[in-house]
Structure 1
Amino acid sequence: MAGEDQYALFEFDDATVEVDEDGVPSETESDEQPDVAEEVSTTQPPEADRDTTITPVWETLPAGDEADGHALIVTADRTYMPSGRELTGPVDSVEKLDKLIRWASLTPLGAPPQVWIVNHGACEALGWVIDPGSEDDFDDMEALRTRAASDLTAVLQATLTPMLNAGWELRGDPGHVVHLSRSIGKFTSMVDVVIEPYVWTYWNKDFGWNNRVGEMGILGSPTAGTYLPDDDLPAARELGRRLAWCAKHLGVLPGPTPARTGAALVDKIKRERTRSGKGIVVTTPGSVPPLDGAPRGDLEPAVGWTRVPDAQDLDGASRLVSIDQRAAYLASAGMLEFGYGQPQHLTGDTAAAAAVGEKGAPFGLWRITLPPGQTLSLPEKLPLPHPHMLADQPVQTWVTTVSLDGLCSPVADGGIGADLDDLDIAEAWVYPQQGRTLDKWAKILREARKAAVDTDDAATKRFLGTCYKGYIGRMVNPDMWTAKQMQHHHQPLWRASIIAHCRWRGRRVAMRIAREHNRWPVRTVTDSWVYLLSGGEDIADPSEALGKMAVEKDVILTDTLLSAFTSAQDVHEVNLAIKAAFADNEDAADDEGEGAL
């Protein structure tokens, strides 16, 4: 769309703003700097004068206009609203980018307003070009990423001078996201410029692991085929659709990382509850209290276990099936009560007595003694009930209330059937307040996920998975939440409780499968369980609710694979056989399982 059909982007009052030959507004003639409210009112076209009948540049509008006014998309040739309405021609200098941002007067939506620079052509127009080298020249992809990130920061610092001279300030070092702020009087406006071609330079921080490119937030995953199209217009169209989808279903813009998107949604709910005075509002971090004899690593580790199959496991087996909990961490986050406030330290009989309440043990940490596994009547074909438990000796350790309840559950439900006295509670840290602090957060994400599933929208479904997994995973790391207004996201005990809850739920399902099908798993990793099954066996949960077991992978065993399981002498050989069987499914793995956080 061009010429007279182009959206009248710069309909300014001539006494205030002039438009240059390229259609980009020039600086105000006045020596007096207007405040932000005045700038918005004098530069934004009056509602009555706006042409709302302009046909969008997309063939059909791919999404609504929920993100319009909050984000812009810049390609080499054009600038667009997320809904597809064309704004202006090339933004081929940093000065024009500055003028465009100030004209647009974008407003926050759970996150600062965003300007997306899409594809290399748009970057070249702004002078934002780096040449990190070829993958073939690096033995370690992390070295390539580090070099590229450093080069990008240097290029941006060298080219952003016109914006800094115009009153903008950088919040932190510029990288794949340039965080800008501008103060006028007491008012500060912020905007994030997201440089799409270089988002990969951040991949090891939040998007991927194991030396490969993984999920890149709202942009998708190259390995899963959900990344943006290569060409400018299709890429802009799809990004606009995803931005509008996110604004519609989450009520926030996507953050610079998936974890930040999850945090933005938490903060949106926090603001709403603060204004209304209804609902739980957590304003302080929940750091792990000082523990005597704290376990190494995670307080509540995920399970990683394999066993060698026996003749009964192999009898009639023709398939290898992996089941896992549907959006497990999201399900647990919505149903658990989490503690907050200043915890109280209890010892001896006082600690033991605190675990006996009308509603069960309160949220907290408990120092208990796990009995030796071999002294209990436990199934031989399942891992020990708690990752810290040993077969031949007792272990004193700290557990969450979720594990305390799990250990007291009957063996048939995955526990050990312990009484509280059997666990010899020696110490506790108990929280004064508790409640379902993440219930609304989980509800919004659950409904958004359903919308994505119902429309077969793989990109947004995977994005939501990275949001809740990323956010819950980063609860443990205080370095992610150093700003004062972000410290309440540091909640390692919430994360530990979620992991424990998923672990116990999976164990309970494994016991159900054993009763109903006489089948036992040969491997479990986090919330995924692997079984050898016959042709017609179905061990998945019939319910489609979150947290229920769904089939993740189902492969027919060739004679070679079956022989590998039959001849396996140790768990290493079993793991190799499982890896070989599922090899074709690895890249297409769904987000049902939680995987690495």
Structure 2
Amino acid sequence: KLIRWATLTPLGAPAQVWVVGIDACEMFGWIIDPGDEDDVDDMEVLRARAAEELTAVLQATLTPMLTAGWELRGDPGHVVHLSRTTGTFTSMVDIFIEPYVWTYWNKDFGWNNRVGDMGILGSPTAGTYLPDDDLPAARELGRRLSWCARYLGVLPGPTPARTGAAVLDKIKRERTRSGKGIAVTTGGPIPPLNGEPRGDLEPEVGWTRVCDSEDLTGATQLVSIDQRAAYLASAGMLEFGYGKPRHLTGESAVSAAASGAKGAPFGLWRITLPAGNMLSLPAKLPLPHPHMLADQPVQTWVTSVSLDALQASVADGGIGAELDDLDIVEAWVYPEQGRALDKWAKILREGRKVAVETGDVAMKRFLGACYKGYIGRMVNPDMWTAKQMQHHHQPLWRASIIAHCRWRGRRVAMRIARETGRWPVRTVTDSWVYLLADGEDVADDSDALGKMSVEKRTVITEALIEAFTSADDTHEMNLAIKGAFTSGEEGE
């Protein structure tokens, strides 16, 4: 009745009804008592118990709707998917039950014995969750839902990753109708690889070094810089491959690598990374690829982004290799490629800009969770088992984005070293930690995505200098850096 009364136009997805607050749930008889988090060692036990009780309660109270011709799609949980067909018209409604969103375990929500990000509802730990009182909570949720519809063109999914997927699916529908632009309709699982690397194809970088007297000279502040919305920036810049890849070996693979107008065509390449010690590389940076070893060559698979990056000069973050130096023996090359995520990245980028300019912390965080969650879930086929969702399984796209962020960060570190003589002491993913003197600044002036901005800054105390000078290994350096930022950080 509510959906009919509101005559909603649901943006290409089922209409949504949100039930906010425990009092509203009580009116429907949707009350459970799974126990207290203080009584369990593992929050996951509580979540599983609550989800089970909630399902039973919902199934018991949905009988009148099922009798009236509605069908339940999937198991009820904090989202109840209902559909009803009248003649040729099918109504679909998703009922979201806000007090029980925490029962839906998903890695988007950051569960590790804590409640993390809950999508459009915000994060209790970051202080962006809805207000405690029901009416202000409902008003704020309404504001966020209308913001989402206005700036993203979609209603939020049950997780940030699903919201990211919904934005891309809307673009795909528009492009399929108009026949203009890239609309990828199939998944891109990793092809069968000889000698597939353990873990990620393109790992994020994590590296620390023990600082020396030169690093400490004149240093008064510890600063962490990171790429602004790094993954989103790379997603909008890169050309991604799709279609059925061709398997090439020997000379055919080498020729294919040299055939692209702007670098290698999109694919995977089995190459040999030379031993780091055999190259003239900066001692105060990690090796240019996480699979590379200092003392011996390594045969491994890399994306086209890494193949191009390794051919860049040392000053630009590469190793200055020729294709012959990399000894390509095998490849999987995709028949089509293009900027499949360009419009997706543009919509999220413009939404982020609005959130930043209006000081809307909740929506800025939500957008961050959407693109990080979506890109993170590209690797996992279990997230996209439904036939209409399988095109979101794109592990090579994710690997390319990681490789691109890693290379861009290294290129910046090389530039900073040329301009200031300062080298980083630590890098994790897309952030770099520096010891700097007063007046030294290694961040970029630009507000553009992908540029370096100050993430954390703290004054170097006598105690911190002592911790740095006495650190015998990278573990002790990491502890000192973490302790410094935790005790005196000033986020920017």
- Coarse TM-score class (shorter-chain normalised): over 0.9
**1:589 to 1:348, Cα distance in 2 relative to 1, 3 A:** farther
> What 5-or-longer segments of structure 1 have no aligned partner?
1-98, 591-597
- The corresponding residue for 1:179 is 81
Corresponding residue of 2:152: 250
Which residue in the other structure is 1:311 paired with? 213
Letter of the 2:240 counterpart:
F
1:418 aligns with 2:321: yes
Contact 2:3 2:15 in 1 (8 A): no
- After superposition, the C-alpha distances for 1:272-319 in whole angstroms (9 at most, x for unaligned) are 111111111111111111111111111100001111111111112221
Kindly indicate whether the alpha-carbon contact (under 8 Å) linking 2:459 and 2:488 is maintained by their aligned counterparts in 1.
no
> What SS does the corresponding residue of 1:543 show, helix, strand or coil?
coil
Alignment equivalent of 1:219, drawn from 113, 116, 121: 121
| Residues 182-221 of structure 1 mapped to structure 2, 5 A cutoff | 182-221=84-123
Distance 2:278 2:483 in 1: 36
Give the whole-Å Cα distance in 1 for the aligned partners of 2:106 and 2:339: 32
Deviation at 1:359, TM superposition (A): 3.1
What is aligned with 1:508? Answer: 411
> Which residue of 1 is the match for residue 40 of structure 2?
138
> In structure 1, what is the Cα distance between the partners aligned to 2:272 and 2:205?
19
CA distance in structure 2 between the partners assigned to 1:564 and 1:165 by the alignment: 70
- Confirm or deny that 1:554 pairs with 2:457: yes
- Which residue number in structure 2 is paired with residue 455 of structure 1? 358
Counterpart of 2:137 in structure 1 is 235
Residue matched to 1:115: 17
- What is the letter of the counterpart of residue 580 of structure 1? G
The yes-or-no answer on 1:291 pairing with 2:193 is yes
Deviations 1:391-412 (A, max 9, x none): 1111100000000000000001
- Per-residue CA shift, 1:484-537, capped at 9, x if unaligned? 111111111000000000000000001111111111111111101111112221
Secondary structure in structure 2 of the residue aligned to 1:278: coil
What is the CA deviation profile of residues 214-253 of structure 1, one whole-angstrom value per residue up to 9, with x for unaligned ones? 1111111111111111111211111111111111111111
Q: TM-score, normalised by structure 1?
A: 0.80
Matched, 1:393 2:296: yes
The alignment partner of 1:342 has SS state of coil
CA displacement at 1:202 relative to structure 2 = 2.1
Gaps of 5+ in 2: none
Query: Which stretch of the first structure deviates more once superposed, 194-203 or 487-496?
Result: 194-203
The answer to whether the Cα contact below 8 Å between 1:343 and 1:429 also exists between their aligned partners in 2 is yes
Q: How many residues align?
A: 491
* Alignment CA distance shift 1:110-1:539 (3 Å): farther
Counterpart AA for 2:467: A
Aligned-pair distance for 1:106? 3.1
Q: Deviations over 1:348-367 (max 9, x none)?
A: 01101111123321000000
* Corresponding residue SS for 2:224: strand
Higher relative contact order (CA 8 A, sep 6+): 2
Distance 1:128 1:159, change over 3 A: same
CA distance in 2, matches of 1:272, 1:483: 21
Offset, 1:101: 3.8
Of residues 11, 24, 31, the one that matches 1:129 is: 31
Q: Shift in Å at residue 107 of structure 1?
A: 3.2
Q: Deviations over 1:29-87 (max 9, x none)?
A: xxxxxxxxxxxxxxxxxxxxxxxxxxxxxxxxxxxxxxxxxxxxxxxxxxxxxxxxxxx
1:543 matches 2:443: no
- Paired residue type of 1:198: Y
Q: Which residue of 1 aligns with 2:474?
A: 571
User: Aligned to 1:498, which of 401, 422, 429?
Assistant: 401
Q: Is the 8 A contact 1:339 1:431 kept in 2?
A: yes
Offset, 1:325:
0.3
Equivalent residue for 2:202?
300
Match of 2:376 among 468, 473, 484: 473
**Which structure's residues are more often helix, by fraction?**
2
Amino acid in structure 2 at the alignment position of 1:237? R
Q: Matches of 1:111 and 1:261 in 2, distance apart?
A: 11
User: How much has 1:153 moved relative to structure 2?
Assistant: 1.6
Partner Cα distance (1:484, 1:187) in 2: 22
Amino acid at match of 2:76: P
Per-residue deviation, 1:207: 1.6
Query: Please, what TM-score do these two structures have when normalized by structure 2?
Result: 0.97
Q: Decide which moves more: 307-316 or 558-567.
A: 558-567
Aligned equivalents of 1:170, 1:585: Cα separation in 2: 52
- The CA distance in 2 between the partners of 1:506 and 1:108, in whole Å, is 41
TM-aligned CA distance change 1:124 to 1:584, over 3 Å: farther
Preserved contact between residue 110 and residue 267 of structure 1 (Cα < 8 Å):
no
SS of aligned partner of 1:150: helix
Report if the CA contact (8 A) 1:110-1:265 is conserved.
no
Instruction: Give the fraction of aligned pairs with identical amino acids, expressed as a percent.
Output: 81
**Equivalence for 1:34:** none
Q: SS of the counterpart of 1:194?
A: strand
Cα distance in 1 between the residues matched to 2:54 and 2:229: 36
For 1:180, what is the secondary structure of its paired residue?
A: strand
Q: After superposition, what is the alpha-carbon deviation per residue over 1:90-117, rounded to whole angstroms, capped at 9, x for unaligned? A: xxxxxxxxx4345444332143111001
Is the 8 Å Cα contact of residues 416 and 442 (structure 2) preserved in structure 1? yes
Distance 1:110 1:506, change over 3 A: farther
C-alpha deviation, 1:389, in angstroms = 0.5
Aligned counterpart in structure 2 of residue 270 of structure 1, from 139, 157, 172:
172
Q: Superposition RMSD on alpha carbons, in Å? A: 1.5
* Whole-angstrom CA distance in 1 between matches of 2:359 and 2:370: 18
Using the TM superposition, give the Cα deviation of residue 131 of structure 1 relative to its aligned residue in structure 2, in angstroms: 1.4
Secondary structure of 1:144's match? Answer: helix
Distance 2:168 2:302 in 1: 26
2:363 counterpart letter in structure 1: T
The equivalent residue for 1:486 is: 389
1:343 and 2:261 matched: no
| Structure-1 residue corresponding to 2:334 | 431
Deviation at 1:585, TM superposition (A): 7.7
Alignment match, 1:157:
59
CA contact (8 A) 1:307 1:522 kept: yes
**Equivalent position amino acid for 1:561 in 2:** L
What SS does structure 2 have at the residue aligned with 1:211? Answer: coil
| Deviation of the 1:146 alpha carbon | 2.0
Question: Which protein has the larger Cα radius of gyration, Structure 1 or Structure 2?
Answer: 1
User: Where does structure 1 differ by over 6 angstroms across 4 or more consecutive aligned residues?
Assistant: none
Q: Which residue in the other structure is 1:81 paired with?
A: none
CA contact (8 A) 1:133 1:144 kept: yes
Q: What residue in structure 2 maps to residue 26 of structure 1?
A: none
